């Protein structure tokens, strides 16, 4: 006859702690239960530690269980555990029932944690003056400019990214069955294999195409292409975007306001990608845009005092973060004065 090994003290303590955690969550039924619970805690300090570990683990899972998908998965696992326990409880001892409950809870915790990992986007972020190159699991690459936030979530049939702030360049691994989408503001850029950059600046979305082809979709739709009006015709916006061109769109359309014009401009790859080499190249661009890009690298930010100053057209090459050179150039070329303020260095023509 086989000898059944004795259960360890730690296993019995963990089962008892799990049982008490469930009873505490449901509410003590009587004064006698409270006395029994206190006696169990007083019997060994390790009992309280085990109970704390169970409670902390369950609360940690709860922190990540807010999404509808995870909630549905958890309810399904709980229902399955209850059905299994009901079928077995007539023939099982109390200790076995508690052990089964603990095992079911552990399965639920692992299932919820796995679902959270699948459904929660991974965040890639750079600070002021920092750049970063990220290699994704499918072979795609993301180059992040300074002060940039990109969120990434891959599933079986799609690759979804969100540009929350700043600028990033994307080299997309070719996969026509698994679209690669980047959402920025109200715009969604979709590619299957290409190279492009997306930037949020001046309440605009700027898309530069380097090679291949992309589609622009309306946010909230999987198949409605973004359209623009050219003359008397309405056509998809991405038809205006060819390699070597830049598309400038409003980041957010304001209700009851006239739609902003969409701008298509010729783009010089050497200029638009200079930030990856630590240089910022500007060609006849407004000062407020120049300042916003420079501030991604500035420990002391620049502040444009008024619209007149912000509309000055700037051309030049600056080392990323060298705001002193920009301030000196503005003073020499336009007579712009600078002064220290609570928000940074204030620039003004007057």
Tell me the pLDDT of the chain averaged across its residues: 80
pLDDT of residue 152: 96
CB 346 within 8 A of CB 338: yes
Phi, psi of 261 (to 5 degrees): -70, 140
Domain 122-269 listed as CATH 3.30.420.10: no
Residues 6+ apart with CB under 8 A from 326: 290, 294, 302, 316, 318
Once rounded to an integer, what is the mean pLDDT over residues 9-14?
77
Tell me if domain 122-269 and domain 278-348 are identical in fold. no
How far, in whole angstroms, is CA 44 from its chain's centroid?
45
* pLDDT per position as a tens digit, 38-90: 888 888 878 877 777 666 555 544 444 444 555 565 566 566 656 655 665 55
Domain boundaries, the chain: 9-119, 122-269, 278-348
Mean pLDDT across 10-39:
76
- What is residue 51's predicted lDDT score, i.e. its pLDDT? 77
CATH: 3.40.50.980, 3.55.50.30, 3.60.15.10, 2.40.440.10. Which one for 278-348? 3.55.50.30
Segment 171-222, tens digit of pLDDT: 999 988 889 999 998 888 888 789 999 999 988 999 999 999 998 887 766 6
Residue 297 near residue 146 (C-beta atoms within 8 A): yes
């Amino acid at each position: 006859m086989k000898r059944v090994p004795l259960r360890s003290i730690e296993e019995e303590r963990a089962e008892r702690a799990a049982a008490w955690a469930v009873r505490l969550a449901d509410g003590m039924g009587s004064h006698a239960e409270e006395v029994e619970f206190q006696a169990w805690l007083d019997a060994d300090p390790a009992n309280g530690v085990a109970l704390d570990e169970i409670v902390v683990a369950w609360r940690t899972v709860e922190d990540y269980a807010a999404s509808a998908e995870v909630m549905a998965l958890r309810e399904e696992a709980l229902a399955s555990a209850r059905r299994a326990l009901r079928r077995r409880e007539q023939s099982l001892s109390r200790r076995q029932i508690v052990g089964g409950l603990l095992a079911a809870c552990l399965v639920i915790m692992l299932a919820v944690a796995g679902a959270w990992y699948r459904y929660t986007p991974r965040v890639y972020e750079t600070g002021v003056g920092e750049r970063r190159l990220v290699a994704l699991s499918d072979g795609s690459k993301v180059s992040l400019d300074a002060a940039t936030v990109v969120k990434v979530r891959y599933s079986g049939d799609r690759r979804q990214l969100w540009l929350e702030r700043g600028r990033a360049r994307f080299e997309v691994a070719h996969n026509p069955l698994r679209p690669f989408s980047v959402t920025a503001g109200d715009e969604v850029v979709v590619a299957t294999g290409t190279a492009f950059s997306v930037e949020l600046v001046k309440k605009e979305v700027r898309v530069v195409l380097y090679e291949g082809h992309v589609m622009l979709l309306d946010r909230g739709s999987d198949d409605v292409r973004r359209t623009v009006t050219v003359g008397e015709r309405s056509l998809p916006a991405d038809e205006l975007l060819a390699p070597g061109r830049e598309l400038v769109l409003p980041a957010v359309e304001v209700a009851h306001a006239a739609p902003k014009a969409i701008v298509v401009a010729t783009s010089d790859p050497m200029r638009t990608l200079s930030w990856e080499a630590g240089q910022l190249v500007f060609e006849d661009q407004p000062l407020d845009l120049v300042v916003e890009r420079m501030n991604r690298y500035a420990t002391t930010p620049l502040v444009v005092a008024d619209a007149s100053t912000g509309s000055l057209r700037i051309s030049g090459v600056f080392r990323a973060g060298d705001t002193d050179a920009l301030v000196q150039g503005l003073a020499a070329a336009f007579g712009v004065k600078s002064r220290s303020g609570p928000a940074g260095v204030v620039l003004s023509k007057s």
